Structure 1
Amino acid sequence: MIVFIAKRAVSGLILLLAISFITFAMVYSGGSNIARRVLGPEADQAQVDAKAQELGLDQPLILQYFSWLSGVIRGDFGTSWFSPESVTGAITSRISVTLSVVTVSIVIVAIVSVILGVVAAVRRGWLDRTLQVGSVVGLALPNFWLAMVLVVVFALGLGWLPATGYVPPGRDLGLWAASIVLPVAAIVIGGVAAAAQQIRGAYIDVLRQDYVRTLRTRGLSERSVLLKHSLKNASGPALTILSLQFIGMIGGAVVIEKVFALPGLGLLAVNSTIRGDIP
Structure 2
Amino acid sequence: MLVFILKRVAWAILTLLIASWIAFLLVHLSGSTPGGVALGQGGTPEQVAAYNERIGWNDPWVQQFGAWVGQVLRGDLGVSLIDGRSIGDDIAKRLPVTAALAFFGTLLSSGIGIVLGVTAAVRGGAVDRGITALSGVLLSVPAFWIGVLLVYVFAAQLRLLPATGFVPLETNPEAWVRSLILPVLTIAITSAAGIARQTRASMSETLTQEHMRTLRAIGTPTTRIIYVHALRGASLPIIASVAIQFIVLFGGSVIIEVLFALPGIGQALQSATGSADLPFVQALVLVATLVVVIVNLGLEILNRTLDPKLRAS
Q: Distance in 1 between matches of 2:267 and 2:51?
A: 27
Aligned counterparts, 1:129-278, within 5 A = 129-278=129-278
Distance verdict in 2 for CA 1:8–1:263, change over 3 Å: closer
Distance verdict in 2 for CA 1:2–1:108, change over 3 Å: closer
Query: CA offset at residue 225 of structure 1?
Result: 0.9
Query: CA offset at residue 5 of structure 1?
Result: 5.2
Q: Secondary structure at the match of 2:253?
A: helix
Q: Distance in 2 between matches of 1:262 and 1:184?
A: 12
Aligned counterparts, 1:30-109, within 5 A = 33-109=33-109
Q: Secondary structure at the match of 2:138?
A: helix
Q: Distance in 2 between matches of 1:220 and 1:32?
A: 67
User: What are the superposed Cα offsets for residues 65-97 of structure 1, whole Å, 9 maximum, x if unpaired?
Assistant: 111111122222222122343222111111111
Q: Distance in 2 between matches of 1:3 and 1:117?
A: 36
Query: CA offset at residue 3 of structure 1?
Result: 5.7
Q: Distance in 2 between matches of 1:11 and 1:101?
A: 28
User: What are the superposed Cα offsets for residues 140-176 of structure 1, whole Å, 9 maximum, x if unpaired?
Assistant: 1121232223223322233222111111233333322
Check conservation: 1:32, 1:58, Cα contact below 8 A.
no
Give 2:283's aligned residue: none
For structure 2, which runs of at least 5 residues remain unmatched after alignment?
280-313
> What is the aligned length?
279
RMSD value, Cα: 2.0
Q: Distance in 2 between matches of 1:128 and 1:34?
A: 56
Give 1:20's aligned residue: 20
Query: CA offset at residue 197 of structure 1?
Result: 0.8
Q: Distance in 1 between matches of 2:268 and 2:2?
A: 40
Task: Give me the TM-score of the superposition, normalised by structure 2.
Answer: 0.83
Q: Distance in 1 between matches of 2:184 and 2:33?
A: 39
Check conservation: 1:32, 1:49, Cα contact below 8 A.
no
Q: Distance in 2 between matches of 1:32 and 1:200?
A: 49
Q: Distance in 2 between matches of 1:25 and 1:194?
A: 34
Query: CA offset at residue 196 of structure 1?
Result: 0.7
Q: Distance in 2 between matches of 1:38 and 1:211?
A: 66
Q: Secondary structure at the match of 2:41?
A: coil
Q: Secondary structure at the match of 1:237?
A: helix
Q: Distance in 1 between matches of 2:195 and 2:82?
A: 41
Query: CA offset at residue 34 of structure 1?
Result: 4.2
For structure 1, which runs of at least 5 residues remain unmatched after alignment?
none
Check conservation: 1:31, 1:58, Cα contact below 8 A.
no
- Taking CA–CA contacts closer than 8 Å with sequence separation of 6 or more, which of the two structures ends up with the larger relative contact order? 2
Task: Give me the TM-score of the superposition, normalised by structure 1.
Answer: 0.92
Distance verdict in 2 for CA 1:261–1:71, change over 3 Å: same
Check conservation: 1:113, 1:196, Cα contact below 8 A.
yes
Q: Which moved more, 1:13-22 or 1:240-249?
A: 13-22
Q: Distance in 1 between matches of 2:30 and 2:222?
A: 66
User: What are the superposed Cα offsets for residues 172-230 of structure 1, whole Å, 9 maximum, x if unpaired?
Assistant: 33322221111111111121011111111111111011000011111111111111111
Q: Distance in 2 between matches of 1:217 and 1:111?
A: 30
Aligned counterparts, 1:2-21, within 5 A = 6-21=6-21
User: What are the superposed Cα offsets for residues 84-137 of structure 1, whole Å, 9 maximum, x if unpaired?
Assistant: 432221111111111222221111112111111111100011221121111111
Q: Percent identity?
A: 37
Check conservation: 2:32, 2:276, Cα contact below 8 A.
no
